Structures are given as C-alpha cells and as structure tokens.
Amino acid sequence: MAGPQTRRAPTLRTSILLLILCGFLVVAVPAYWGFTTLVNSTVVQLGRLFAEKQILFDRYRGLGALMQEVALAETLTRSPVIRDWARDEADPDKQALAIAELEQYRLSFADHSYFFVINASGNYYYNDAQNSHGNGKEFAFTVDRRNPSDAWYYATAALGAGCHLNVDHDDELDVTKVWINCVIRDGDAVLGVLGTGIDLTAFIKQVVDFPQNGVQAMFVDQSGAIQAHRDVRYIDFHSLLNAIENKKTIYSLLDLPSDRDALQQMLTEVTTPEVEVRSRFMQIDGHQVLVGVGYLDKLGWYNVTFMDVDKIIDRSLFLPIGLLLAAVMIVVALVIAFIFKLTVLDRLARVEKGVVAVKEGARELPARPDHGNDEIGRLSRSFASMASSVQDNMRMLEHMVEERTAELQSLAYRDQLTGIANRRGFAEGFNRVMGTAGKEARLALLLIDIDRFKDINDGHGHQAGDEVASEMARRISTVLRPIDICGRWGGDEFIVLFSDLGSRPLKMIADAVKRGLSLPVELKDGRSVAVTVSIGACLVEADETLEQVADMADAALYAAKEEGRNRVTVYDPTRRRSNAGLRAV
C-alpha cells in the first residue's frame, strides 16, 4: 500500500518572486499617489513661477513707454520757462517762450499732445497731434469748480507734487485717454497742472490685450479701481471723481470675500520694498485661477494678472515621465530579482553542490567561491539619462519658442502679400535712417500709386491685383540700393526713402523709378496687364517726421493724379498752397 503523498513546499525562488511582486504593488500604489501629488505640486510651483515672471514681463513690456512719458512730463514741470509763465500769465514774452517749450515737448510725447492749466486763472491750454490748436489757438477754455467736468483738475491739484495717472473721458475735447497729470508747485502754492495722454485703445492693445492663452492682464489703482482691461466695460473712467462704492474694482471679479481680503493684503504687501511679487489661487466664476500682483511704484498702479494654470501648463506633458517612471520601476524589480538570484540563490546552489560533492567523496569543490558584483550604478545611470533627456527637451522647447517669437515679430513688421515692410516696419526704418543720416546727406521720399488699380481688380480679378502689387514691390526692391528702404503704404500705394541722393536731382531719380515700374505685368494665367504709376516726391529735411514728409509726398501724388496720372510730381515748398505747392515733371 502506497504511503501518503507529501505536499511539496514552495521553493525559495517562488517565494522570493511572490515577495517581490507584493513589494512592487505595495510601492506602486503610494508611488502613483506620490507622482500625482508631485505633478500637481509641480504644476502649482510652475504656475507661481510663471505668475511672477508674467508680472515682471507685464511691468516692463508695455509700460516702459508710459514711464518714459511720465519722465518727460516730470521734466517739463521743472522747466523755468513754464514756471515763469505760470507766475505771470499776462506777459506775452513769457507766454511765447512757454508755448514754444510746450510745442517742443509735444513733438516728443508719444501722443504728440499736451495740456497746461494755469492755477491762477484756470485757463486750459491744449494742442494735439494735428496741431489744430497751434499758432495762437492754444487756449481752449477756463476750468470752473462748478463744472463737474473740471472736477478732475481740482482733485489733481489737491494731490502731492509729481505725476498722477488717471483714465478719463475729457468731455470738452471728446477723447478717452490715460492722462498723465503732473502738479507744478512752488513751495506750498500750486502753479498749475500739465501733462499729456495716451490713447486708451492703443495702450490696451499694446500692454493689456497681449495674446497669451490663459492669461488676462490688467492694471488697477490703489483703491482697486480697474484702469486698464481688454474689455472697456470693466474700466473705471473718471476714477479720481468716483466714490469708492461707485468704482469698478477688481474685487468685484472675485467670488469669495476671503479672496477679496487676501487680494487686498497682497496689494498692501507688494507696496513694500521687501516684496516684489505676490501670487495666490483664488476663485473667479467658480474656477480656481492663479492671481499674481506687482506694484508699479513710479505710476502708483498695480499690475494684476489672472492665469488659468490648466491652460498654461498641459498636465498631459507629464504622462511620458509617468510612463518612464513606471518602466523604470519594472526594470528595477527585475534587476532586484536578478541580483538576488546571483547573490543569494546561485550562491546557495553552489554551496549545496559543494556539500553534495564532499558527501560523495570529492576532494575539491566543484566551483570557486564567487565574489558577486555591485549593480547599483545601473539605476543611477538610468536617472542621469532621464534627466539628460528632460534637459534636451527643455532646450528644444526654448529654441522653438525663440523661433516662434522671431516669426511673430516678423509678421508685425512685414506685409504678408508683398514681403516688404508694412507701415510699422517702414516707420521703424525711416526713424533708423533719419537717426544715422549725415548732415550733408540729401534724403528724398517717393509715394508711388498704381494707376487705376481698381480697374485692374474689376477687370482681371483680385488675384490679378495681388499679383500686380507683388510685382510692383519686387520691381521697387530691385531698383533700390541696400541703404534705401521701401514699404507698402496702402492697398495700391508704396513708399520709398532714398538715404542719400548725392548730387543727382530728385526729378531724374523719380523719373527713372517711374520708367522701371511702368511696364506690363505678366500674370500667372498668361495674361498681360499694362501698368503705369503716379509718383509724388519730396525732399526730406533732418528735423521732419514721417507724417510731415508723407503728407508732402501725398500732396504731390494727389496733384499727379489730378494732372492725368502716369507722371511724377515733386513737392515744391517755395510755392503757395493755391498753386498746389507742386511742380510736375
């Protein structure tokens, strides 16, 4: 009769494998939780870092020009000429000197406008970019305490010396601007208030309405009233005069009272020299948003940025890292099992084999004692490889961002149809040439118009019109020297600046350009379009602006069209306007 079968106990190898598997599961669950927590913490930290950088970026990106305007206005308040006139407004000599000083600064202001209120009389002097109030018409009106529209002046005069910013709609002049109001004081006495303005639409487009996904920038004053926002409905106009309960404040955008208190505390903290930026998550419209705050001490404003972290940082970017970590964990588990086999199981097997050999009478051990090897360096190299891969990816992303930024900058200064400079690009080139031109250089501007361009569009189609415009741009670029610049001024208008004519007359050069352009254009479909151009030309003086010379060239171009097109007309500054101030050639 067979004896009872004995149940074979699990081998040490099986037990160790089960133990490693259980250990892997025990480690994997908290590792997954830790990885998720780490990702969330990383996202928050990156969001906070981004918020701080965004605040500093907003501070210096668009407000540099505004701070430059404030510096100019502050310099003007210290002018002895202005102060002398404010003390003795009736003196015509002092008035003439002061108006000349104001006009000089007007041309330096970005808005090309100024205002000056003399406190003693309340007289308001003003001139704009069109010089519509020049030549003795600078006086606009007299401020009156009984007029609600003039309350801003008395509120500003009551403030301390220096410049104060305010977003207002001027009812007398019918303009909405960011006003820079600078108080002129002589001791405790107020001599007046002067300053300039920046068009609110342009300011918001340049500073606030900067396209960034998930980022909303705005500027508030010390009471929290919104001074600049991409949506004008949120802007608190006439903020100097509004009672606090009537102001459109940033606090009204927050859902929770605790967030409003926290935001007020953050605004207080960033005004101190020790704190530059503060950020915190707050609830807006039921969604958690990272709010960053910075203080612009020279302007008395706060720049506040709302950032949707989920839109800024894509959490799926961490998925490859998670998968890589999971793969590393599996490899580590297998390596541990393999190392255990080499250092424990195989060593025990060799010992067992030696014991059996001795029992059987062997004189020598079947194998020498093994010494094992340390495999820990394998894991270190794995993590080093992972870190290197992450750094390579970061460098690649930074390079892509730089390339994209360069492309966007090119789009801002290039005409997309013709490839030459647009208005902005030409204006930048004009200022560069004017700044580097020598005193003896003879500069000239040509305004070129394609004759009857509408007939080309109507008769051959808009595609043909685009081809004609592109060909004109190519021809213009071909005849220019490297030191000359050109651009597309409008739909069918091109503009050229000759950096130095030398001794050649403008007439001869303009005629040569006209002949080079007035040639038929071969279209892609095989048709040919006869093209002629009209050119308005003028010489450029060293102190003239692009607007001035463009107006002269435009007047000459208008005369060329009136005289039958397909010709060159040179602006003649010695003739009267009644004679068109022009000379056809």
Domain membership of residue 116 as a residue range: 67-202
How far apart are the C-alpha atoms of 467 and 151, rounded to whole Å?
57
Considering the domain architecture, whether residues 193 and 254 belong to the same structural domain is answered as no
How many domains does one find in the chain? Answer: 5
- Cβ count within 10 A of residue 285: 8
pLDDT at 290 (0 to 100): 86
3-state secondary structure 352-381: HHHHHHHHCCCCCCCCCCCCCCCCHHHHHH
Compute CA distances 490 → 62, 413, 453, whole Å.
Answer: 27, 14, 12
Residues 305, 362: one domain?
Answer: no
Q: What is the pLDDT of residue 220?
A: 83
Q: Are residues 427 and 533 in the same domain?
A: yes
Q: What single string gives the DSSP state of each residue in 504-556?
A: S-HHHHHHHHHHHH-S-EE-TTS-EE---EEEEEEEE-TT--HHHHHHHHHHH
Whether residues 448 and 560 fall in one domain: yes
Specify whether 164 is located in the same domain as 309.
Answer: no
Q: Give me the pLDDT at residue 135, please.
A: 87
Report the pLDDT value the prediction gives residue 94, as an integer from 0 to 100: 93
Which of 295, 313, 331 is where one domain is finished? 313
Both 306 and 365 in one domain: the answer is no
The answer on 232 and 182 residing in a single domain is no
Q: What is the rounded radius of gyration, in angstroms, for the C-alpha atoms of the chain?
A: 38
Model pLDDT, residue 309: 75
Q: What is each CA distance from 420 to 429, 470, 520, in whole angstroms?
A: 12, 9, 21
- What's the pLDDT at 63? 64
Return the half-sphere exposure (C-beta side, CA atoms, 13 A cut-off) of residue 224: 21
Q: What pLDDT score was predicted for residue 51? A: 64
Q: Is 131 part of a structural domain of the chain?
A: yes
What CATH number corresponds to the domain at position 191?
A: 3.30.450.20
Nearest to 489 by CA among 411, 427, 407: 427
**Do 338 and 472 sit in the same domain of this protein?**
no
Same domain (yes/no): 547, 513: yes
CATH assignment at residue 508:
3.30.70.270
Determine whether 301 is exposed, middle or buried from the number of CB atoms within 10 Å of its CB (0-12, 13-18, 19+). buried
CA–CA separation, 423 and 421 (whole Å)? 7
Q: Are 354 and 369 in contact (CB under 8 A)?
A: no
Domain boundary pick from 185, 202, 219: 202
Q: Give, in order, the Cα–Cα distances in Å from 90 to each of 95, 186, 189.
A: 8, 19, 19
- Tell me, yes or no, whether 293 lies in a domain: yes
- Nearest one of 179, 177, 180 to 232, comparing CA atoms: 177
pLDDT per residue rounded down to tens, the chain (585 residues): 445 555 555 666 677 777 777 877 777 777 777 767 776 677 666 666 766 666 666 666 556 667 788 889 999 999 999 999 999 999 999 999 999 999 999 999 988 999 999 999 999 999 988 999 888 889 999 999 999 888 889 988 888 778 887 766 555 554 557 788 999 998 888 999 999 987 766 555 666 666 667 777 788 887 888 877 777 676 655 554 454 455 578 888 899 999 999 998 988 888 888 888 888 889 988 888 888 888 877 667 788 888 887 776 666 666 777 677 777 778 777 777 777 766 666 656 666 665 666 566 555 556 565 555 544 444 334 434 443 454 456 567 767 767 776 666 667 788 888 888 998 999 999 999 888 887 778 899 999 999 999 988 988 888 988 999 999 999 998 888 888 999 999 888 999 999 888 778 888 899 999 998 989 998 888 888 999 999 999 999 888 899 999 999 999 999 999 998 999 999 977 654 334 444 444
Asked whether residue 89 is domain-assigned, the answer is yes
> Token digits for 534?
């009209």
Of 291, 313, 335, the residue at which a domain comes to its end is 313
Q: What is the pLDDT of residue 578?
A: 38
In a domain, 439, yes or no: yes
Report the C-alpha gap between 351 and 542 in whole angstroms.
99
